[in-house]
Structure 1
Amino acid sequence: MTGGTVLDTRALNRATLARQLLLDRSDLPPLDAVAHLGGMQAQEPQEPFLGLWSRLRAFDPGVLSDLLTRRRVVRTHLMRRTVHLVTAEDVLARRSRHDAMLRQRARAAYRRELEDVDLDELAAAGREVMADGEPRAMAELVRAVAHRWPDAPPRALGEMLVAALIPMAQLPPRGLWRTRAGVRNLPIAVWLGRDIDPPAPEGTDPVGAAMARGYLAAFGPAATADLRAWSGLAGLPAAVAAIRDELISFRDERGRVLWDLPDAPRPDADTPAPVRFLPAFDNAILGYDDRTRIIDDAHRGLSVAGARVVLVDGRVTATWTVERDGGAREDPGTVTVTPLRRLSPAEREEVLGEGRNLAAFLSEGAADRVRVATDPA
């Protein structure tokens, strides 16, 4: 191990960009990219398409839609109890490892509302309703069980069922490219035609170790606190300890120990970083406890408020929106960029260029209009 080597913020930034496929666009197929990234934040259904466009060369959004309909990727509650787009293989392998966290977080959110509800009984009632194999909206599922808990708010019952107690997939057309659709839920085992992997024997954590390796490949070098912030799981420091002989270590400027895979890319801190437009809630930002490698503390709130951001020289430097010409999502629009600091002429030109590319992608070639505000927000 090389625990005395300090990596400054810029070095960590370039490592993050490389691991996140944001330093150079990758030729990976979309399925492999989703697997490498450990899943993509997807509570906003169209955002994974934007995230992959910024990461992959010649990305075709139809390929990702096809992966959803072919059940190769799944929309489900997983890390941090938020909706992620993950590969079928990963959700089958990981879901049991997340069960306790999902239940704890949902219970914490609705502790008072569910005070008199036995969660095991609620889970059994929900599974009985879903046993017919019919997809249901959360409201439909709640209506079928609510008579047993008449004093519990329907929202609390529903969130506990679909986000924690029953491993659910959100079915297409939800999440397809340029498609609006409500959430219909079906147990993952039914949708994928295979039971979720059972929990590991007590005292072992092969799934945690695999997640730690995967996290470092896509986010490292990183501290165990960063791994916890990404996953929402409390027990992963033990998983890191179990694979410590496979890892090397550094320190950041705060003195935290950062773990990493020996052969993972750590580009020179002076490596040029291109402008990249990121979707809302992108894990390149949310996947860390200490996010200063990519966003200033003064702007940290943007990362949890759902703002779409622009990276300039590898850091969050602007936000972006789309102003539509008409009322429909499919109408061409103008990509509007609002800087957080004053841009140099060269930076402005690079933002304009990548913004035109983004506008063309969003409109499927119908428009490439982009506007960059002169003054910072």
Structure 2
Amino acid sequence: MDPLLTRRALNRATLHRQFLLSRTGLPVLDVVEHLAGLQAQTPHTWYTGLWTRVESFKPSDAADLLLSRELVRIALQRSTIHLVTARDCLAMRPLLQVVTERGTRGAYGRKLAQVDLDELAAVGRALLEERPMTFAELGRALAGRWPGVDPHALGQGVRWLVPLVQVPPRGLWGRSGPVAHTSAESWLSSSVPPVAPPPSVTAPAATPPLATPPMTARELVRRYLAAFGPASVMDAQTWSGLTRLGEVVESMDLVRFRDESGRTLYDLPDAPRPAEDVPAPVRFMYDFDNLFLSYDDRSRTITEAGAEVLGSFMGTNVMPRIVLVDGFTGGRWTVSRAKGVSRLEVRLWEPAAPVDEVEAEGRRLLEFLAPDDGHDVSVLHGPAHA
């Protein structure tokens, strides 16, 4: 029989690989690559995901890399926008394109039935490589070639057929901009910075195109286990959006465990699996953190109260921001600002939660989010549904 991994042991292994047992001193590029990307459909909240994992992290540490095009934001796992390295952008997209195809065909297939998809890809790519556009702008431009087709469907068709990155200033800390796209190949082959950096940021010239072969399914599973394992086949499929990974997993040299429910979990033979009694510090997680979105069975970090809260937001474009207490969902947090004071309110669900530790970490969070403001932290106890 496969060795048992208790829920707490599984929790600690996951937190260790996610840099949540202790912050890492690795460079941001290495962290993003190890994590196989951070979900990043919001322009800025993912910066908190790096802050909570990387020692002495500053927003410019990531913003500089977006400007230099060493990091990009592109639809990958689950067809959602992820922050990834340029190398992973080029390697992952061919493998994961089928995920975007599945969703696009389901939503817009009938509207695109009379459209030559090769032509749509070529025309859309040419338009976006001439200048970055929003999908609304792209749809209007494509409607001139296909006047009887829904412009939104045409734009989404290009999103499926052509790897598209969101270009700065969208995603830069403290800045805003249109959700404009261009092709990944064009973006990563250009050596001219696309926008003027803020005064405090120096944007180095972009690197030349990377000779990056497409990633195989085996390589993707290995990357997933390194950052999220031990995990089941269904967990890996939930994270990636791919199907039929059971055949892939069974072909790999992996070790096997079972969880308390009897599920089979797979892992890399030399991956770290700390003892279940290793302390787990308080951590403030951002709204779309992959820690909560990358498993079929999410009980390794999500309590019943946490599942109630997160479940109430599923299917929306808004998610709560969770506090990890002893490695598990223990509360939620919000920040508001008025008259030069940023206020953090934390609502804890567990009466035994370490209030002093929560407050101390909360103050560090405010120093990161709003260093020039006055700060106020309020820690309350109450039910998860409040």
- SS of the equivalent of 1:173 reads coil
CA–CA distance in structure 2, aligned partners of residues 317 and 40 of structure 1: 22
Q: How does 1:228-243 map to 2 (within 5 A)?
A: 228-243=237-252
- Distance change >3 Å, CA 116–CA 337, structure 1 → 2: farther
Does the 8 Å CA contact 1:34/1:40 hold for their aligned counterparts?
yes
Per the alignment, residue 301 of structure 1 pairs with: 311
Q: Secondary structure at the match of 2:374?
A: coil
Change in Cα spacing, 1:318 to 1:152, as seen in structure 2 (3 Å) is: farther
Who is 1:343 aligned against?
Answer: 351
Which residue does the alignment assign to 1:202? none
Give 1:220 shift.
Answer: 0.4
Could you tell me which residue of structure 2 aligns to residue 283 of structure 1? 290
Query: 1:197, CA displacement in angstroms?
Result: 5.2
The Cα of 1:62 is off from its aligned counterpart by 0.4
Alignment partners' CA distance in 1, 2:8 and 2:2:
18
Whether the 8 Å contact between 1:69 and 1:172 is mirrored in structure 2 is: yes
Structure 1 residues 71 and 332: CA distance shift in structure 2, 3 A: farther
Specify the alignment match of 2:200 in structure 1. none
SS at match of 1:286: coil
Q: 1:188 to 1:48 in 2, by over 3 A?
A: same
Question: In structure 2, what is the equivalent of residue 170 of structure 1?
Answer: 166
Alignment map for 1:223-262 (pairs within 5 Å): 223-243=232-252, 245=253, 247-262=254-269
**How far apart, CA to CA, are the structure 1 residues paired with 2:237 and 2:106?**
18
Q: 1:95 is paired with a residue of what secondary structure? A: helix
Q: Is the 8 A contact 1:68 1:176 kept in 2?
A: yes
Residues 97 and 310 of structure 1: is their aligned pair in 2 closer, same or farther, counting only changes over 3 Å?
Answer: same
Match of 2:34 in 1: 36
With over 3 angstroms needed to count, the CA separation of the structure-2 counterparts of 1:351 and 1:239, relative to structure 1, is same
Check the 8 A contact 1:25/1:54 in 2, yes or no: yes
In 1: Cα distance, 2:179 partner to 2:225 partner:
32
Tell me, which stretches of 5 or more residues in structure 2 are unaligned?
190-208
Equivalence map 1:71-82=2 (5 Å):
71-82=69-80
CA displacement at 1:155 relative to structure 2? 2.5
Amino acid at match of 2:133: R
Are the equivalent residues in 2 in contact too, given 1:230–1:287 (CA < 8 A)? yes
- Residue 105 of structure 2 is matched in structure 1 by 107
Decide whether aligned partners of structure 1 residues 111 and 338 sit closer, same or farther in structure 2, where only a CA change above 3 A counts.
farther
Matched residue SS, 2:333: strand
Output aligned runs, 1:1-377, within 5 Å: 4-132=2-130, 134-162=131-159, 164-193=160-189, 194=209, 207-243=216-252, 245=253, 247-296=254-303, 297-301=307-311, 304=314, 305-325=318-338, 332-339=341-348, 341-344=349-352, 347-376=354-383, 377=386
1:115 Cα deviation after fit: 4.4
Secondary structure in 2 matching 1:285:
coil
CA deviation map 1:193-245 (0-9, x unaligned): 1378566xxxxxx52111111111100000011111111111433332232x2
Query: Is the contact made by 2:331 and 2:347 (CA closer than 8 Å) also made in structure 1?
Result: yes
Instruction: State whether residues 4 and 260 of structure 2, in contact with CA within 8 Å, keep that contact through their aligned partners in structure 1.
Output: yes
Kindly indicate whether the alpha-carbon contact (under 8 Å) linking 2:45 and 2:287 is maintained by their aligned counterparts in 1: yes
What's the secondary structure of 1:338's corresponding residue? strand
**Please, which runs of 5 or more residues in structure 1 have no aligned partner?**
200-205
Q: Do 2:342 and 2:373's aligned partners in 1 also have CA atoms closer than 8 Å?
A: no
Q: CA deviation at 1:173?
A: 0.9
Counterpart-to-counterpart distance in 2, 1:367 and 1:196:
48
SS in 2 for 1:270: coil
Q: 1 CA distance for matches of 2:213 and 2:117? A: 20
Cα distance in 2, alignment partners of residues 229 and 4 from structure 1 = 23
**Partners in 1 of 2:93 and 2:287 — Cα distance?**
24
> Using the alignment, how far apart are the partners of 1:19 and 1:198 within structure 2?
26
* Root-mean-square deviation (Å): 2.0
Residues 93 and 196 of structure 1 are in contact (CA less than 8 Å); yes or no, is this contact kept in structure 2?
no
CA deviations 1:44-74 (Å, max 9, x no partner) are 1112210010001111210100000001011
Displacement of 1:299 in angstroms is: 3.6
Letter in structure 2 aligned against 1:136: M
Q: State the identity %.
A: 47
1:184 CA drift (Å): 1.5
Q: CA deviation at 1:156?
A: 2.5
The SS at the match of 1:174 is: coil
- What is the TM-score with the length of structure 2 in the denominator? 0.87
Give the CA deviation at 1:332.
4.2
- 1:79 is displaced (CA, Å) by 0.7
SS for the counterpart of 1:4 is coil
Q: Name the SS of the counterpart of 1:17 in structure 2.
A: helix
Asked if the contact 1:355–1:370 (Cα under 8 Å) also holds between the matched residues in 2, the reply is yes
C-alpha deviations, 1:292-312, integer Å up to 9, x for none?
A: 111134344167441111101
Aligned equivalents of 1:167, 1:150: Cα separation in 2: 24
